[in-house]
Amino acid sequence: MTGESQRPDDDAVRAKVLETADRLYYTYGVQAVGMDTLRAESGVPLKRLYRLFPSKESIVEQVLLGRHEVWNALVESAIETGDPRQRLLAIYDMLSRWFDQDDFRGCMFINSFGELGSTAPRIAEIVRTHKEGFQVRLAEIVAEAGAPPSLAPQLAILAEGAQTTAAIAGTSEAATHARQAAETLIDAALQTGRTTTG
């Protein structure tokens, strides 16, 4: 028997709220979107919103965790074919396609950290974990390529910088510049790796 604390459609309503929150937070910023706006846009009564989510911060956390899964899927799709060098460069091609989307507003993790990182430790932790995970994935491909480990954080910084620059500039050119810089770094690192092992 289902108790009053858990309705049969709670999962569907929770998903609807998170989808709406994701769109609003990404478009306008987290702090600019209050619970009343989320209620109006989602069509979910305020009382039920607070029953499903104990706080606005908990909604932000769930939105970021959802974005984490989407980002990982995009990265894995981009790097599924080619040799390690091609796979590393494919990440910047993926960024270029993302930057060209009409609704691109930068990295939601960077945006959220800028708004809330100093006052919301759990959100800061989610952002850091997300960014570290991306760097770890890069490090795995860098190792497959036989390049020095120091290449991974360098490539990550290029990707992060491209996201911020593209959001400010409103164009995808940052992805092209980052890809060119990444190509130079990768080729130099691979040459160093061959010299070291040669």
Tell me the pLDDT tens digit for each residue of 124-138. 999 999 999 999 999
Tell me the pLDDT tens digit for each residue of 131-183. 999 999 999 999 999 999 999 999 999 999 999 999 999 999 999 999 999 99
Neighbours of 1 (CB within 10 A): 2
The set of residues, in sequence order, having a beta carbon less than 8 Å from that of 61 and lying 6+ positions away, is 122, 123, 126
The H or E element that residue 128 is part of is: helix 121-145
149 phi and psi, to 5 degrees? -55, -25
Buried b (16+ CB within 10 A) or exposed e, 141-155: bbeebebbeebbebb
Tell me the pLDDT tens digit for each residue of 21-55. 999 999 999 999 999 999 999 999 999 999 999 99
For position 7, what pLDDT does the model report? 75
For position 197, what pLDDT does the model report? 52
pTM (two decimals): 0.90
Q: Give the Cα separation of 59 and 65 in Å (integer).
A: 10
Residue 94's identity, in one-letter code, is: M
Tell me the pLDDT tens digit for each residue of 54-97. 999 999 999 999 999 999 999 999 999 999 999 999 999 999 99
- On average, the pLDDT of the chain sits at 93
Q: What domains lie within the chain, and their CATH numbers?
A: 1-53 (1.10.10), 57-197 (1.10.357.10)
The set of residues, in sequence order, having a beta carbon less than 8 Å from that of 130 and lying 6+ positions away, is 64, 67, 68, 71, 109
